[in-house]
Structure 1
C-alpha cells in the first residue's frame, strides 16, 4: 500500500498559514505597523491605495535590517523576538510568531527596502508569491520600507470575499488607531489614495486621544489612575452624559497591546452602575501594565485576546479605580451630610432680636358683655362705634325682595335634523380602541379583534414613509431658527459624508461639514431637535460594518435605522387619537403584516377562537 500522508510544499504551507494571519488588508496593516514599532521607529508612514487591495506600504525610520536578516525574515518561524519557549512569558514586543512576513509574501507581491543605521548601503528585495524575484544593493534612507501589492493575487476566492472599499478602509483605520493609541510617543501619518487622513505628532495620551477623536473629546474625559502590585492602570473614561448607543470608542491596552475582553468591559460597566441610560455605552481608553509572566498572549492568532492569571483581582481593581475617579471628579452622585449654607440666617439679621408686632389683641374683650372696660389693655386698637347699628339695615329688606322676584329666561333651541348615517354606521363609529400594558392596541372588528404591536406598527409606517421620500426625493424639511452643530469623530464624519445624499432626501439639510463636526440647518418634519443626535448615533452604529454598495440597499438601511430610532417605544402611553392614527397608518402601508425587521405587526383573534377557549 502506498503512503497517503506527505509533507506540504513550503508555498502551500505559507498560504495555509496566511489564512490565520491575513484575513483582509487590515491584517497586513496591523502586522507591518507592529514590526515598525518593534524596530524602535519614531516616525511611521502608512500609505494605502484602493483600501489596501492595490497597495499597503509602511515606511519607518527604525533600526533597519542587514542583508542576512532581510532575506531570513521571510522564512517561516523566523523571528528576532524570542529564543526559547520560556521567552513567551516575558514578551515586551508585538510580533513574535515569525509567520507574518512569510504569510504575506505567499499571497502578494512584496517589495522591501531596508538599511541599518551603521551601514552605508541597503538591501532591496522583491518577492512574488513566496518566490524571490530579485535582491539588490541600493542607496536607501535609514529604516525599512515594506510595500505589499495586489493582495490575494494568487487566491482569487479569498479576494472575492473582500468587502467594498468603504468597509475595508474602516477596518484599516480601526487597526491603525489601535496601534497609534498604544504609542503616543511615535509620529504616525496615514495616506489613502494620495490624500492625508491622519497626521498625529508625538504627544501624551490625552493629546493623542483628542487629535484622533476631535477637540470636543477633551471635555468628556475623566482621568483614571491606580497603581498596585498586580496591575498599574492609567487612562481616561467618559462622563456619563456623553455616553452613546454604540460601542465605538472603547479601548483596552495591556502592556501597549490592544486587546478585547468582555470580562474587563463588564468591570467598567459595573463602575458606571446607575449612571447610564438604558442601552448606552461609555467611552474608555484604559492602559493596563501587568508583569509579563502573569499573562498568556499566545492564545489567539491575532493576539487580541489575553489570559490573565488573576482575573478576579484585576476586575475588582479596575472597577474600584473607575468608580473612584468618577466620584472624585463629581461625576457620580455621593451622599452629603453637611448642612446647606443657603439655609443659614443672613448676616445682617444674625444678631438682631425679633421685633414685636404692632397690632395686639385684647384677650379679655367680650362683645356680648354690657360692662365696658374702663381701660383697654391695648393702645393700638380702637373699638368701632356701634351706638347706631340699626341704621346699617335700613332699606336692606326692600332690595332683597327686588332681587328675589322671578325673572323670565328664554333659551335658544336647536332644530333636530335627521342623522347623516344609519344606525349601523353610528354603531361602528362608537367602537373604541384600547391600549394594553402600554404595548398593544386592541381594535374590535366584526369577526373578533385585532391586536397591534404599537412599536412594530409604527416602525413599518415610518420605514415606508422614509423609503418613499428617499426614492421620490420630495421630503419636507423644517428649517431651524438656529443651526445645530453636532460633533463626531473623523471616522464618523466620513461615514456621514457618504450618507449625506440619502439623508438629504429624508429631509436633513447640511449647512457645512468639517473634520470633527457637522452643522445641520434643517430636519425631517417628524424629527425633533433633541432627537437628532440620538438618531445619527443609532444610524452610525447600525452601519458600523459598512455602507451597502447599491443605492437602494443604502436607502433601505437608513430607513430601517431611522424608523427604529423614531418609532414609539414599548411602555409609551398613547391617547385614543394616537392609537387610531397608528392603526389606520399601518393598514394603509403596502406590507402591513410585518415590521421592517420581518416581525409580525399584528395578530387577529376571531370570536370562534375565544369561544373555544371558554368551551374548555
Structure 2
C-alpha cells in the first residue's frame, strides 16, 4: 500500500491557520490594533472600506520595524513577544500570535510600510496570497502602516459567509471600542468609507468613556477604586436607575485586555442585589490588574476568556468593592452605627426645641345624646369639615326593596364569564368543543406585530405629538444607526426634531407608545437590529415590528380584567397567523372535551 500522509504546502497551511485567526474583518482589526499598541504608538488610525471587505488599514506612529523584521513578521510562528515556552504564562503584551500576519497575508492583498525612528528610509513590502510580490525602499513616516485589501479574495466560500456590511461594521466597532476603552492614553481615529466615525483624543478613562457613549454617560458613572496585594480594581459602574434591558455596556479588562467572564459578571450583579429592576442589567467599565503569572489567557483562540488562579478571592473582592462604592456614593443603603442620633430629627425642630403641635378637635356644644331624634336627624359630636360627603348614601342600596335585593343574587345568563386568567400568564377561553389556553404575552406580541407591520408598510401610522419634545442620549454609533432607519421609524409613527452627534430629539411617538417607554423601545430596537440586519428594506420593517411588539406586549404577571381578556382573544383570532408569535412560538393550545375526559379516565 502506498503512503498517503504528506506535508501540506505552506500556502495551504497558512490558509488553514487563517481559519483560526481570521473569522471575519473584525479579527484582522483586532490583531493589527494590538500590534500597533505593542509597538508603543500614541496615535492610531483605522481606515475601512465596505466594512473591511475591501480595505482595512491601520496606521500608527510606533517604533516601526527594521528591514529584516518587516520581512520576518509574515513568516509562520514568527514573533518578538516570546522566546521560550515559559513566556506564554507571563505575557505582558497583546499581539503575540505567531501566525497572525502570516495567516492574514495568506487570504488577502497586504501592503506594509514601516520605518524606525533613527532610519532615514523605510521598507515597503507587498504580499498576495502568501507570495511576496515586491520589496522596496521608500520614504515614509516613522511607525507602521499595514493595508489589508480584498479579504478572502482567494477563498470565495469564506467571503460568501460574511454578513451584511452593517453587521460586519458592528463587529469591527465592537473590537475597536474594546481597544480604545482599554487605552485612553492613546489617540484613535476611525474612518469608514471616508466618513469619520470616531475621533478620540488622548485623555483619562472617564473622559474616554463619555467620548464613546455620549455626554449623558458622565452623570451615570460611579467610580470604583480598590488596591490590594493580589488585585487592583479601578473603573466605573453606572447607577442602578440607568440599568439597561441588554448587556451592551458591560466591559471587563484584565491587564488592559478585554475579557468575557460570566463568573465575574455574577459578582457585579450580586453587588447590585435589590437595586435593579427585574429584567435589567447594570452597566460597568471595570479594570483589573493582577500579576501576569496568575492568569492563563491561552484557553480561548480569541483570548477573550481567562483562567484565574484564585477566582473565588477575586469574586469576593470585586463584589465587596462595587457594593462599597455604591454605598459610599449614596446609591445603596448602608448601616452606619456611628450616626449622630440628632440627625433623625428635623433641623427646624432641633434649633427651636419646640414640641410638636397638638391637633385641634372641634366639638359640637349642642350635641345631646339623650335627645330623641329621627333617623335622618342623627348628629355626631365631632364636626366633619367636608359637609357634603353624605356618606349615608353608601347604604341606600341596603334599604331598597326586596325585589332589588333579589337581583343581586339572580344569575343573568347573558353575563356568564367566558374567559379566565390563570396565574396571570394564561387566558382560558371556552369554546364549543372544549377550551383554548392562550399565552397572554405571546398572543399580544402577535397582535402588535401585525398592527405595526401594517402601519409601517401599508398605511400611515398615527402619531401623537408630545407637549414637550424628549431628548435622548446615545453613542455616536447608535445615533448613526437611528438616522439610517429614520424613514422607517417615521412610518411607524415617530417624529424627530433634531439629530446631534450624541443625542436625538423626538417630538412625536406612535399612539400605542407611552412617553416613558420611548428610551426602552429605541434601545431594544437598536439591540435587535445589531443582532442581524439583512440587506433588504423589508427586513428592516420586519425587525422593527418584531422589536416593538416584543417590548410593548403585556408581560407575564400582568393582571387582565374580563374585558381585556375578551379583547385579547378576539384580537388574536382576527390576526392573519394567530397560532404563532412573531418569533415562532405557539400562542395557544386547544383542549377538546374528549382530551379533558381522557385525563380522568386514564
TM-score in terms of structure 1 length: 0.86
Q: Deviations over 1:103-149 (max 9, x none)?
A: 11100000011110011011111111110100111111111111010
**2:55–2:149: 8 Å Cα contact kept in structure 1?**
yes
For 1:452, the equivalent position in structure 2 comes to 438
CA distance in 1, matches of 2:252, 2:436: 50
The Cα shift of 1:439 comes to: 1.8
For 1:507, the equivalent position in structure 2 comes to 493
For 1:112, the equivalent position in structure 2 comes to 112
For 1:156, the equivalent position in structure 2 comes to 156
Which SS does the other structure have where 2:466 is aligned?
A: strand
Which SS does the other structure have where 2:218 is aligned?
A: helix
- Is residue 523 from structure 1 mapped to residue 526 from structure 2 by the alignment? no
- Is residue 296 from structure 1 mapped to residue 282 from structure 2 by the alignment? no
**2:44–2:61: 8 Å Cα contact kept in structure 1?**
yes
Which residues in structure 2 correspond to 1:79-94 (within 5 Å)?
79-94=79-94
**1:473–1:506: 8 Å Cα contact kept in structure 2?**
no
**1:61–1:143: 8 Å Cα contact kept in structure 2?**
yes
CA distance in 2, matches of 1:508, 1:5: 65
User: Structure 1 residues 244 and 353, CA, compared in 2 at 3 Å: closer, same or farther?
Assistant: closer
Which residues in structure 2 correspond to 1:251-400 (within 5 Å)?
251-335=251-335, 338=339, 339=341, 340-343=343-346, 346=349, 350=353
For 2:408, the equivalent position in structure 1 comes to none
User: Structure 1 residues 35 and 429, CA, compared in 2 at 3 Å: closer, same or farther?
Assistant: same
For 2:28, the equivalent position in structure 1 comes to 28
The Cα shift of 1:544 comes to: 2.3
User: Structure 1 residues 61 and 429, CA, compared in 2 at 3 Å: closer, same or farther?
Assistant: same
CA distance in 2, matches of 1:608, 1:447: 9
- Is residue 540 from structure 1 mapped to residue 543 from structure 2 by the alignment? no
CA distance in 1, matches of 2:48, 2:578: 47
**1:245–1:541: 8 Å Cα contact kept in structure 2?**
no
**2:470–2:506: 8 Å Cα contact kept in structure 1?**
yes
**1:453–1:601: 8 Å Cα contact kept in structure 2?**
yes
The Cα shift of 1:349 comes to: 5.3
The Cα shift of 1:351 comes to: 7.1
Q: Which runs of 5+ in 2 are unaligned?
A: 366-370, 378-411
CA distance in 1, matches of 2:34, 2:352: 72
CA distance in 2, matches of 1:261, 1:197: 29
Higher alpha-carbon deviation: 261-270 or 107-116:
261-270
The Cα shift of 1:536 comes to: 1.5
The Cα shift of 1:614 comes to: 4.0
Which SS does the other structure have where 2:527 is aligned?
A: helix
**1:110–1:148: 8 Å Cα contact kept in structure 2?**
yes
**2:493–2:509: 8 Å Cα contact kept in structure 1?**
yes
For 2:229, the equivalent position in structure 1 comes to 229
User: Structure 1 residues 528 and 352, CA, compared in 2 at 3 Å: closer, same or farther?
Assistant: closer
> How many correspondences in the alignment?
555
Which one has a bigger Cα radius of gyration?
Answer: 1
Which SS does the other structure have where 1:346 is aligned?
A: helix
- Is residue 552 from structure 1 mapped to residue 538 from structure 2 by the alignment? yes
Which SS does the other structure have where 1:565 is aligned?
A: helix
Higher alpha-carbon deviation: 326-335 or 604-613:
604-613
Which SS does the other structure have where 1:27 is aligned?
A: helix
For 1:45, the equivalent position in structure 2 comes to 45
CA distance in 2, matches of 1:611, 1:197: 65
**2:197–2:477: 8 Å Cα contact kept in structure 1?**
no
- Is residue 493 from structure 1 mapped to residue 479 from structure 2 by the alignment? yes
Q: Which runs of 5+ in 1 are unaligned?
A: 360-380, 382-391, 401-425
> What's the RMSD between the two structures over aligned residues?
2.5
User: Structure 1 residues 257 and 612, CA, compared in 2 at 3 Å: closer, same or farther?
Assistant: closer
**1:431–1:444: 8 Å Cα contact kept in structure 2?**
no
Q: Deviations over 1:168-194 (max 9, x none)?
A: 111111111111111111111111111
**2:42–2:61: 8 Å Cα contact kept in structure 1?**
yes
CA distance in 2, matches of 1:613, 1:4: 64
CA distance in 2, matches of 1:142, 1:344: 66
For 2:100, the equivalent position in structure 1 comes to 100
The Cα shift of 1:478 comes to: 0.7
CA distance in 2, matches of 1:354, 1:262: 57
Which residues in structure 2 correspond to 1:189-204 (within 5 Å)?
189-204=189-204
Which SS does the other structure have where 2:530 is aligned?
A: coil
Q: Deviations over 1:9-57 (max 9, x none)?
A: 1111111111100111111111111111111011111110111001000
CA distance in 2, matches of 1:524, 1:180: 37
Q: Deviations over 1:268-295 (max 9, x none)?
A: 1111111111111111111111111111
CA distance in 1, matches of 2:597, 2:189: 73
**2:215–2:473: 8 Å Cα contact kept in structure 1?**
no
Q: Deviations over 1:64-118 (max 9, x none)?
A: 1111111111101111111111111221111112211101110000001111001
Q: Deviations over 1:194-232 (max 9, x none)?
A: 111111111011111111111111111111111111111
CA distance in 2, matches of 1:147, 1:351: 80
CA distance in 2, matches of 1:591, 1:353: 67
For 2:422, the equivalent position in structure 1 comes to 436
User: Structure 1 residues 347 and 111, CA, compared in 2 at 3 Å: closer, same or farther?
Assistant: closer
CA distance in 2, matches of 1:488, 1:224: 23
Higher alpha-carbon deviation: 1-10 or 474-483:
1-10
CA distance in 1, matches of 2:356, 2:218: 53
The Cα shift of 1:609 comes to: 3.0
CA distance in 2, matches of 1:507, 1:282: 30
Which residues in structure 2 correspond to 1:535-614 (within 5 Å)?
535-614=521-600
Which residues in structure 2 correspond to 1:159-178 (within 5 Å)?
159-178=159-178
CA distance in 1, matches of 2:198, 2:306: 29
Which SS does the other structure have where 2:331 is aligned?
A: coil
Q: Deviations over 1:337-370 (max 9, x none)?
A: 6545445773675379999x9x9xxxxxxxxxxx
CA distance in 2, matches of 1:65, 1:349: 78
CA distance in 2, matches of 1:613, 1:130: 70
For 2:141, the equivalent position in structure 1 comes to 141
User: Structure 1 residues 602 and 134, CA, compared in 2 at 3 Å: closer, same or farther?
Assistant: same
